Amino acid sequence: MRLNEFKTGDKVKVVKILGHGAFRKRLIEMGFVRGREVEVLLHAPLRDPIKYSIMGYEVSLRSSEAHLIEVTPIHDNTTYSTKSSESIVASDTDCAEHQHVYDSSRHTINIALIGNPNCGKTSLFNIASGAHEHVGNYSGVTVDAKKGTFKYGGYTFNIVDLPGTYSLDSYSPEELYVRRYLKTETPDVIVNVVVASNLERNLYLTSELIDMDRSMVIALNMYDEMERTGDHLDYNLLGEMIGVPIVPTVSRTGEGVNNLFDTIIDVYEDCHRAVRHVHVNLGRDIESSVTVLKDMLKSDKHIPAHFSPRYIAIKLLEHDSEVEHMIKECPTAADIIGARDAEVKRLENILDEDVTAAIASEKYGFIAGALAETLTKGETDTNSNTRIIDSFVTNKLFGFPIFLLIMFATFWATFEIGSYPMEWIEQLVSWLSDVVQKFMPDGMLKDLIADGIIGGVGGVIVFLPNILILYFCISFMEDSGYMARAAFIMDKLMHRIGLHGKSFIPLIMGFGCNVPAIMACRSIESRSSRIITVLINPFMSCSARLPIYVLLIGTFFPRHSSIAFLTLYIIGIIVAMLTAKLLRKFYFKADETPFVMELPPYRIPTLKASLRHMWSKGAQYLKKMGGVILVASIVVWALNYFPRHDKPSGTTANEVVAGTSDSDINPATDSYLQMIGKAVNPVMEPIGFHWRATVAAVAGIPAKEIVVSTLGVLYTGNEDIDNTSLSGRITALNPATGQPDFTMPSAISFLIFILLYCPCIATIVAIVKETGDWRYGAFSIVYNTLVAWIFAFAAYRLALLF
């Protein structure tokens, strides 16, 4: 609880101060330290400020300031003792006086994971919190803050995994996101995750965090890779030099993680001997300008206390737009900005270069100097394997064929290997349906269970093995580092359609699910490129469409399944590229965004990580089975079952609905679903759709998995068809027309239409959210459906000819 939440007369004890910098130090000097008793004496007439008693004297605090003091009521019987066996044992002897035991519900440490893209933050988050967030060996995997909670050493940790960022500027969305988080939230300890094998670049972000003057611990991640190179880092000495404790970790395996959190506790308890405030020296001239601005900022009480004055001063010299906006809201803004402009002009005359570049140069100089005293380079070249592999996979001659071969192998495994467990599940569903048909009495409940639930959900769940295999392959490519190479080789092609290689990764992610892929577009700096990538992403064939492909390709193209799969995905890519070209030419202005993207070293993914990612997606698929697909199947069954009509002699109700009620039969016998399908079908007949296909496509708008479950309901119940599989039912002769509802041309048309038409509702919501404009969502609905109809029409007519 916070100090400002208590009433007059309440007595509390201080747990921790949530502020930072000068404000936090001032409160500590006034006696607001852990365990100190505070009494609420008086609230001002307008409830602010509030008078408190501490250490025998009275102090007045504003409510906003008191809100930054976390306390616990004394009547909670919180104990403070150094004799309990549960006390935290600190790593340094001079921490003994800080060993306490607290009420665990009040004893909480809030930590934020900050680091460069691809540094292993999410792996550390998973290993610590037990979460199963997706981890990939390329930048941009974490596109939002992920939160977790766990207990360790008597403490409760609230851990937040922030997006990867190279700095704390306002250039890219992820940089702004991280900085705004640090502005609005006050984590007790920042965990700066750095890659041990690439310290010089990773420590640049560390230098900016040091400027912020926040409590921090460095997780020296992927330490095993550094050891394999033969490099030796005196991390204890380096930590003492920069005033931040450094702990080696291997988050992939969990090595060193316990030591990391022991160190976090020490820093939180203010008893780690390496902790001290260090200024990253920027050289005499720049430091002089920083001091001028810093002194002005300190004297202005209207400047928000979110960041240290030194950090704000440096960002002003760098012309940071967001910091300038913050300063311009203060009464002395004109004086501060005027002083800044004068200092920038002075520095540029002295240094003969841009101030931002000069500051970066000084910071890298500071880092190089620190590493020169603490890092001894080994002789082993661990990047040689990466260079050898890249000589093939990024080669102008072999790069594209290798990419196509990898995608072909992925689809082959998805279809061929997945066909065996798929058949087992299909047999189980068929057996279950037979049991219901045999033992349950005739009636609506029997029809609901057999035709609605088992026919609908069972028709989709059989494709679970295919989904799992596809996600395993995608996860393996992401974790290995190949995805970044795919973006690299595609850059020139992407540039020709008005984008660049960085847009390629969200598009590839769309093969799994369009929603997180659209969210991953946040890592694209250019707004126009980001919006175009968002709008073309739904043309990437997501895994929700996979059951439809498996059903129809397995039925009509069993001997060429891999080629058919690959062809569909290529069609989606081609349509996406054409759309991007049109958008760039007619709507968005030219955008020359430089292609800057890290190519991480290749890593062999762990089987555990790939299986965990695969299963997390499989679990989401199963949840859909028991949620939206189950509900949709029941709704479709009910629309197909009602209204009830007097059935002809010698027929069952389901035979009337599923077998013999077509357009040439009296409309009075139609179900509601038939009425809907036949009302819409005139628009779909030119592309070869039967009314059942039309209904399935319409039902798939909320979620594409519903398409197969709808077909499962519509083609269940006709006892004249011997084949119990859905594949056999959709190709059986329709007694009303004498022709199958699905032929090879209509199947091709159906596949292309489902590939390209209106995105699912979740994807539309993601488009609106990420673009900030509902019109882009409406554009996707109308444009994608129109494009789908045109391509399906062309494919159907060509198929009829050949």
The full 3-state SS of 123-185, as one line of letters, equals HHHHHHHCCCCCCCCCCCCCCCCEEEEEEECCEEEEEEECCCCCCCCCCCHHHHHHHHHHHHC
* Residue 430 clears pLDDT 80, i.e. is over it: yes
* Residue 21 clears pLDDT 80, i.e. is over it: no
Average pLDDT over residues 765-784: 91
Q: For residues 723 and 743, what is the distance between their CA atoms, to the nearest angstrom?
A: 17
What is the pLDDT at residue 792?
A: 96
What is the pLDDT at residue 750?
A: 96
Nearest to 485 by CA among 510, 509, 504, 513: 504
DSSP H or E segment with residue 340: helix 333-351
What is the pLDDT at residue 76?
A: 47
Nearest to 521 by CA among 203, 159, 143: 143
The residue ranking higher by pLDDT, 692 or 185, is: 692
The residue ranking higher by pLDDT, 457 or 345, is: 345
Cβ-proximal residues to 423 (8 Å cutoff; 6+ apart), any chain: none
Average pLDDT over residues 170-186: 78
Q: Which residue is it, tokens 């699912």?
A: 760
- CA-based radius of gyration for the chain: 32
Nearest to 10 by CA among 67, 52, 55: 52
Given a contact cutoff of 8 angstroms between Cβ atoms, the answer to whether 723 and 729 are in contact is yes
Q: For residues 457 and 716, what is the distance between their CA atoms, to the nearest angstrom?
A: 12
What is the pLDDT at residue 647?
A: 52
Nearest to 252 by CA among 602, 608, 611, 614: 608
Nearest to 66 by CA among 10, 18, 111: 18
Lowest-confidence segment of 101-105, 295-299, 518-522, 535-539 by average pLDDT: 101-105
Structure token pair of residue 784: 């994608």
What is the pLDDT at residue 676?
A: 83
* Residue 128 clears pLDDT 60, i.e. is over it: yes
The residue ranking higher by pLDDT, 603 or 777, is: 777
Q: For residues 661 and 670, what is the distance between their CA atoms, to the nearest angstrom?
A: 7
Given a contact cutoff of 8 angstroms between Cβ atoms, the answer to whether 106 and 78 are in contact is yes
The residue ranking higher by pLDDT, 532 or 457, is: 532
Written as one letter, the residue type at 188 is: D
Average pLDDT over residues 731-753: 89
Helix axes 482-496, 399-412, angle to 10 degrees: 120
CA angle at 763 for the pair 759 and 765, rounded to the nearest 5°: 120
- Partner residues linked to 148 by β-bridges: 159
The residue ranking higher by pLDDT, 727 or 596, is: 727
- The predicted-structure confidence for 379-388, as pLDDT tens digits, reads as follows 766 667 777 8
DSSP H or E segment with residue 16: strand 11-17
What is the pLDDT at residue 138?
A: 43
What letter would DSSP give residue 301? T
Query: What phi and psi, each to the nearest 5 degrees, are found at residue 8?
Result: -55, 135
Nearest to 157 by CA among 130, 120, 195: 130
pTM strictly above 0.75? no
Average pLDDT over residues 335-339: 89
What is the pLDDT at residue 249?
A: 93
Average pLDDT over residues 93-105: 43
What is the pLDDT at residue 416?
A: 82
Three-class SS state of 730: helix
What is the pLDDT at residue 381?
A: 63
pLDDT > 90: percent of the chain: 17
Nearest to 707 by CA among 739, 750, 673, 740: 750
Structure token pair of residue 134: 């997706």
* Residue 787 clears pLDDT 70, i.e. is over it: yes
What is the pLDDT at residue 22?
A: 52
Computed from CA positions of residues 152, 158, 161, 167, in that sequence, does the dihedral angle turn out positive or negative?
negative
Given a contact cutoff of 8 angstroms between Cβ atoms, the answer to whether 656 and 718 are in contact is no
Nearest to 564 by CA among 548, 580, 544: 548
What is the pLDDT at residue 714?
A: 83
Given a contact cutoff of 8 angstroms between Cβ atoms, the answer to whether 220 and 244 are in contact is no
Given a contact cutoff of 8 angstroms between Cβ atoms, the answer to whether 337 and 327 are in contact is yes
What is the pLDDT at residue 650?
A: 42
What is the pLDDT at residue 190?
A: 93
Report the residue count for the chain: 802
Average pLDDT over residues 776-785: 95
* Residue 757 clears pLDDT 80, i.e. is over it: yes
Name the pLDDT band for 238 (thresholds 50, 70, 90).
very high
* Residue 599 clears pLDDT 80, i.e. is over it: no
* Residue 592 clears pLDDT 60, i.e. is over it: no
Q: How far apart are the first and last CA of the chain?
A: 74
Computed from CA positions of residues 657, 662, 663, 666, in that sequence, does the dihedral angle turn out positive or negative?
negative
The residue ranking higher by pLDDT, 234 or 271, is: 234
Considering only the C-alpha atoms of the chain, give the largest distance between any 2 of them, rounded to a whole number of Å: 101
Average pLDDT over residues 517-542: 84
Average pLDDT over residues 216-225: 91
Structure token pair of residue 721: 């068809």
Name the pLDDT band for 170 (thresholds 50, 70, 90).
low
Lowest-confidence segment of 97-106, 161-170, 552-561, 594-603 by average pLDDT: 97-106
What is the pLDDT at residue 739?
A: 85
What is the pLDDT at residue 669?
A: 60
What is the pLDDT at residue 590?
A: 64
pLDDT > 70: percent of the chain: 83
Name the pLDDT band for 790 (thresholds 50, 70, 90).
very high
* Residue 130 clears pLDDT 60, i.e. is over it: yes
What is the pLDDT at residue 748?
A: 95
The residue ranking higher by pLDDT, 547 or 652, is: 547
Q: Which residue is it, tokens 């093969």?
A: 511
Query: What is the average pLDDT score of the chain?
Result: 79
Name the pLDDT band for 81 (thresholds 50, 70, 90).
very low
* Residue 100 clears pLDDT 50, i.e. is over it: no
* Residue 178 clears pLDDT 70, i.e. is over it: yes
Structure token pair of residue 16: 């921790």
DSSP H or E segment with residue 619: helix 607-626
* Residue 280 clears pLDDT 60, i.e. is over it: yes
* Residue 753 clears pLDDT 60, i.e. is over it: yes
Average pLDDT over residues 249-273: 88
- The predicted-structure confidence for 636-657, as pLDDT tens digits, reads as follows 788 877 887 655 444 444 444 4
* Residue 179 clears pLDDT 80, i.e. is over it: yes
Nearest to 560 by CA among 544, 549, 575, 547: 549
The residue ranking higher by pLDDT, 451 or 124, is: 124
Written as one letter, the residue type at 323 is: V
Three-class SS state of 369: helix
Written as one letter, the residue type at 219 is: A
Structure token pair of residue 62: 């504003």
Average pLDDT over residues 120-140: 68
What is the pLDDT at residue 82?
A: 30
- The predicted-structure confidence for 439-450, as pLDDT tens digits, reads as follows 888 888 888 888
CA angle at 470 for the pair 467 and 471, rounded to the nearest 5°: 85
Average pLDDT over residues 55-63: 70
Q: What string of H, E and C letters represents the secondary structure of 201-265?
A: HHHHHHHHHHHHCCCEEEEEECHHHHHHHCCEECHHHHHHHHCCCEEECECCCCECHHHHHHHHH
